[in-house]
Structure 1
């Protein structure tokens, strides 16, 4: 695994951890972010991943 793939994997694992924490907070009634804010944040991450895929092709 090259350093770029490793870095991307680490970012994805961090995102997964953050999403699980947010979901846990949501289940107990805590909401610190709006759906629109989350959509914008996740959209940015998806764009970054897609851009990396296009650059590697």
Structure 2
């Protein structure tokens, strides 16, 4: 569930920290009734960043396919990795 808090709630850092850890979602902070900040735990940040990176790479691959760019052969890539690292 989306959590929206006024900026004055940041005074209680322990509560905000606990909320970030428990919700595993960003906490939206408002100032004068308008969106101002987003606060989240490091774990959530890393997870969201990893997902964003994955989606960016997938979008790039889809564009390469759509534009007819030369793509790598998966079997050749895996063979190259096996040759380089064994197994």
After TM superposition, the score normalised by the length of structure 1 is 0.51
RMSD: 1.8
Secondary structure of residue in 2 paired with 1:32 = coil
Kindly provide the CA deviation profile for residues 18-56 of structure 1, in whole angstroms up to 9, marking residues without a partner as x.
11110000001125245788xxxxxxxxxxxxxxxxxxx
Unaligned runs of 5+ in 2: 1-39, 78-87
Higher strand proportion: 2
Q: Distance in 2 between matches of 1:22 and 1:31?
A: 11
Total equivalences in the alignment: 37
Unaligned runs of 5+ in 1: 38-57
Counterpart of 1:5 (choices 36, 44, 48) is 44
Higher helix proportion: 1
Q: Distance in 1 between matches of 2:58 and 2:70?
A: 12
Q: Distance in 2 between matches of 1:31 and 1:13?
A: 25
Change over 3 Å in CA distance of 1:12–1:31 after alignment to 2? farther
